[in-house]
Amino acid sequence: MNLADLGVTSGGALAIALLAVYFFAPKQARRAELVGRVQEVTVTVKGGYSPDLIRASENVPLRILFDRQESGECTSRVVFPDFALNRSLPAYATTTVEFTPDRAGRFGFACGMNMVHGTLVVEPSTDHGGNGHASQAAVEVAPPATREGSSPGTEDAETLERRAEIADLTRRVLVGAVLTAPVLFAVMADSLNARWLPQILLNHWLQLALITPAYLYAGWPIHRIGWLSLAHRAAEMNALITVGTTAAFIYSLFVTALPGLLPTDLRQVYFEAVGVIITLILLGRLFEARAKAGTGEAIRKLIGLQPRTARLVRDGVEADVPIEEVVPGDVISIRPGEKIPVDGDVIDGHSSVDESMVTGESIPVAKQRGDVVIGATINQIGAFHLRATRVGKDTMLAHIIRLVQEAQASKAPIQRLADVVSSYFVPFVIFIAIATFVVWFVVGPEPQFTLALISAVSVLIIACPCALGLATPLSIMVSTGKGAEQGILVRSAEALETAQKLNTIVLDKTGTITRGAPELTDVINTNALNHDELLRLVASAELRSEHPLAAAIIAGAKKRGIDVADPSDFQSFTGKGVRAKVGGRIVAVGNERILREAGIAAEPLAEAALRLSTEGKTPMLVAVDGRPAGVIGVADTIKDDSAAAVAELHRLGVQAVMITGDNRRTAGAIARLAGIQRVFAEVLPERKANEVKRLQSEGRVVAMVGDGINDAPALAQADIGMAIGTGADVAIEASDITLISGSLAGVVTAVKLSRATMRNIRQNLVLAFGYNIIGIPIAAGVLYPLLGLRLSPMIAAAAMALSSLSVVSNANRLRAFRVKTLPAGEIPTLEPNVEVSAEESAPAYVDAHTGEGDYMKEKTTATDPVCGMSVDPATAEYRSFIDGNAYYFCSAGCKTSFDIDPAQYTAGSTSGGHHSR
């Protein structure tokens, strides 16, 4: 080893050591200063975050002022994934983000694609009186009234900025290409010994004159961020390109200006490499910017759904007003074909509404007085008035937009690997480039310096941390947007990742598998009356009843086109049924007691009633003119697609389990229809979470699907909670995924989308890691001794540009995700395995009219023994147990009255608090 080799080796080792200290030594942090009761700190956004390390205290409101002194998509948003914050940062403006760090630790913040990083260090608070929960409010400085996620203006500004960036990149690519093309053409022709080539094109000064504008103007976005990131000690991809192209440009400038100071074999210039590298990198970014513009399309579509005006009705006069002026309680007129501006209740008129843009369901939904309509959906042919209930940021659409943005701001666990690698990637690439230069200079063939320089520059150029940074967030952004289009709202990337591991899904019965409301199912006649006449008499007799089962019978009759007459001599008997005169005929409808007290034998109806009861239906006995006439069956029927959804889950390798507070018989009947093999029956609401925990103890990854308040604990206990969007707000808040349409097909879609997303992310990571693992050694020259293959910086630049583009293109494949119609569920051949809750199961509740030889032992609904209201035992909040019998109440007042004198309400019955019609 000669003196030069020794000097280069020592210099290389020293450079690596100094750079290691520079990049990895503890960074100086800025502490947020207390201003009043709020911590405040200003962060400059210019080629990164300065400072990029912020210290704050736990449970004290934190205000961060982001002073963005640049444009371009790279820093157009800031994301705090651990606090579910995703905020836009307008160019050349200061944006205020406020929230309360609710836990201590180190939390990263980054631009939307995680290409620019910062760290928030939250230190434990000495004051334990904090509120202990994060406030996720963020206030934009201009205009202050605008809330992210509910204003089209913010998205319009981002769209304009994106277009401006694409236009700027296009100009720079054109400048780079026009100035580089003559130099590249001359160098390539000279390498082929073209005699016709004008020698002026090979003049170093001419090449310098052409490439300098390409290096400075076209490459300015790269160099500016690259040098700033190095100054911030947070080197990233731009820094690698900047160092590589600058080294090649300065060396070529030195050769051009002072050729006499170098040996003849070292007087080669690399101006064409500088121009081609910059042009190709910018061309790749142009394609990438166009491709990434599509990843946020779902959010832009959702925001584009928001109407700008509403037709307000005041004092009988209609007037168009800006949507911002509508307040809850206002009456709004909706004409055919118009977009509904806000959420509300129909108070007059009827129509059908296309809700596909919110629920994903393509069939229009009929709406009439009392029905709820969702803002941004489209009215069809009818006209109606609605009363506004939720406006502005409280509408369903605004809620959807916020959930999608929070999901896109979140971080999947699989992304942590990419984040850890990315944080060390660029410094190590610089170390490898220095080592490559040293090795080739010391042991390489002649010309050693040239080979060493080319190899080192190639290493710097080919490395692509950008691909690693894009691999996960792009897929998350596309998939959550697609989910929103299909009526699937995913709260976080972590939920999306966990959902692909599911092997068990627990389905609450009422409102999830079933419709959640009783419907007429059977009309069985036992005398000369035909079905329609029997149903007409029963529906007419029930017309004045306020009982939910009466409403189901009347609705069923009208659906069949049967005219219902107004009865006379109507009488209602609590716990028994009704009696009325219809067209001169005396009709009695109810349980056995109402027939027995009228001296009518119920035995001829027993067999039919028992069959309906076995099927989980509620039988109602009918007598006409003192004779048994038939049995009417009413039940909470399963949804049209429940069986198909369960069958598809089984095909996906996911076991469906039903959980319900109903008795074994009813639970088994519903499970049989839905094709579910495992059932937990007679489970008290507060014990549903225990059953989920029991499944988890079996090593299962469990999702819970429910819609009621009583489902919230189980939703929280499950690995993934899925709430039916038509259910209670508490259930939706406790869930990880919300199914807006209320269809079980949404569960299948959520599982399929999750699996497609994680498959796409793994493909992206394989592309990103594989590219760098293979590309960097080749650029360093490992194949040169064996095959004589050496990678030029120009080829390295093309490869680097293609690597990011391949990841973006692969992520965009998720935009082709489509929901296919579920195949029909197979007719189940196995009996369900019904398990009673192992711990404190719900008591079996029996009918008030049970007696010797009775045919109905268990019921799915109950009657409040005090007021006669129908009560669902599975969800009843108030209950009493006397002599082993369960009684259910609609309110605390009824329970209090019952507890004072139970005998008054239980006389003549084995148990109260049940449905007794």
Rounded to an integer, what distance in angstroms lies between the CA atom of residue 635 and that of residue 631? 13
User: Whose structure tokens read 């489970």?
Assistant: 683
Q: Which of 262, 241, 250 is nearest to 211 (CA)?
A: 250
Q: Which two tokens stand for residue 779?
A: 């650029």
Q: Which of 287, 274, 213, 277 is nearest to 248 (CA)?
A: 274
Rounded to an integer, what distance in angstroms lies between the CA atom of residue 504 and that of residue 719? 10
Cα dihedral 142→148→153→159 (10° resolution): 110
Rounded to an integer, what distance in angstroms lies between the CA atom of residue 179 and that of residue 212? 9
Count of CB atoms within 10 A of residue 531's CB?
Answer: 14
Rounded to an integer, what distance in angstroms lies between the CA atom of residue 149 and that of residue 483? 17
Task: Please state whether beta strands 519-525 and 93-99 pair in parallel, antiparallel, or not at all (unpaired).
Answer: unpaired
- Dihedral pair phi/psi, residue 838, rounded to 5°: -70, -20
Rounded to an integer, what distance in angstroms lies between the CA atom of residue 171 and that of residue 180? 14
User: Whose structure tokens read 């990438």?
Assistant: 288
Rounded to an integer, what distance in angstroms lies between the CA atom of residue 809 and that of residue 314? 52
Residue 412 DSSP code: -
Helices 152-191 and 220-231 pack at an angle, to 10 degrees, of 110
Please answer whether residues 200 and 206 qualify as being in contact, where contact means their C-beta atoms are separated by less than 8 angstroms.
Answer: yes
Rounded to an integer, what distance in angstroms lies between the CA atom of residue 337 and that of residue 89? 37
Q: Report the sign of the C-alpha dihedral through residues 596, 600, 604, 609, in that order.
A: negative
Q: Which two tokens stand for residue 60?
A: 């004290």
Rounded to an integer, what distance in angstroms lies between the CA atom of residue 222 and that of residue 277? 11
User: Whose structure tokens read 């007129």?
Assistant: 333
**Nearby residues of 569 by Cβ (< 8 Å), 6 or more positions away:** 579, 580, 581
Q: Which of 901, 915, 907 is nearest to 871 (CA)?
A: 915
Rounded to an integer, what distance in angstroms lies between the CA atom of residue 794 and that of residue 272? 8
Q: Report the sign of the C-alpha dihedral through residues 483, 488, 493, 495, in that order.
A: negative
Rounded to an integer, what distance in angstroms lies between the CA atom of residue 318 and that of residue 562? 39
Rounded to an integer, what distance in angstroms lies between the CA atom of residue 297 and that of residue 286? 18
Q: Which two tokens stand for residue 97?
A: 């983000």
Q: Which two tokens stand for residue 142?
A: 């201009």
Please answer whether residues 513 and 639 qualify as being in contact, where contact means their C-beta atoms are separated by less than 8 angstroms.
Answer: yes
Burial zone of 381 (CB within 10 Å; 0-12 exposed, 13-18 middle, 19+ buried): exposed
Burial zone of 789 (CB within 10 Å; 0-12 exposed, 13-18 middle, 19+ buried): exposed
Q: Which two tokens stand for residue 25?
A: 């030594």
User: Catalytic positions, please?
Assistant: 508
Please answer whether residues 770 and 250 qualify as being in contact, where contact means their C-beta atoms are separated by less than 8 angstroms.
Answer: no
Rounded to an integer, what distance in angstroms lies between the CA atom of residue 732 and that of residue 728? 7
Range list of H helices, 444-529: 448-462, 465-485, 493-499
**Nearby residues of 9 by Cβ (< 8 Å), 6 or more positions away:** 1, 438, 442
DSSP structure string for 360-383: ---S-EEE-TT-EE-TT-EE-S-E
